[in-house]
Amino acid sequence: MINIEGQEFEAFTTSGGLGTLCETFEGKVDTLNYKTIRYPGHGKLMRFLMYELILKNDTQQLERILSNAKHPVEEDVVYVYAVLERWQNETLSRKEYYNAFYPIEIEEKKWQAISWTTAASMVAVIELVASKQLPQKGFLKQEQIPLQNFLQTPTGSLFLT
């Protein structure tokens, strides 16, 4: 469990997210974690559905059950929570970043938080490539993209609101 501004959440390891960060920071960072944040009980319920009811192999049935029981919400929230702890001058320091992203309207259409944050990240990188601020070919690690440049794109600026 983690607590963000008085709200309890559970956090668990999921695939993706870290990409090449482990390789980039090997030998420089002691511990690097990437976790999905969900409301308490989510992981237990999903494990029950996937492994006790063995629905991991029947995704169509799983989707029907979830859609029937829990209709998609329009008012979702994407939380970003990052913590950096390090020793500095023989003192342990800690920095935290927290932000909540909510549904927004783009060109008179309402977008769920999970939809626009996922798409906007990709589109902002495309804008950087199109403006020749990033290499025009080859593999690029996410940590090689300057945050300030990313946030200055029309789409990346959505993360500033």
pLDDT in tens, 90-121: 999 999 888 999 999 999 999 999 999 999 99
Q: Is the pTM of this model over 0.85?
A: no
Q: What is the pLDDT of residues 3-41, one digit of tens each?
A: 888 889 998 887 777 788 888 989 988 888 888 888 899
Boundaries of every domain in the chain: 2-40+72-160
Cα–Cα nearest to 102, from 111, 113, 110: 113
Q: In sequence order, what DSSP letters do the residues of the chain get, joined into one string?
A: -EEETTEEEEEEE-SSS-TTHHHHTTTT-S----EEEE-TTHHHHHHIIIIIS-GGG-HHHHHHHHHHHSPPPSS--EEEEEEEEEEETTEEEEEEEEEEE--EEETTEEE-HHHHHHHHHHHHHHHHHHTTSS-SSS---GGGS-HHHHHHSTTGGGGG-
Using a pLDDT cut of 90, give the percent of the chain over it. Answer: 57
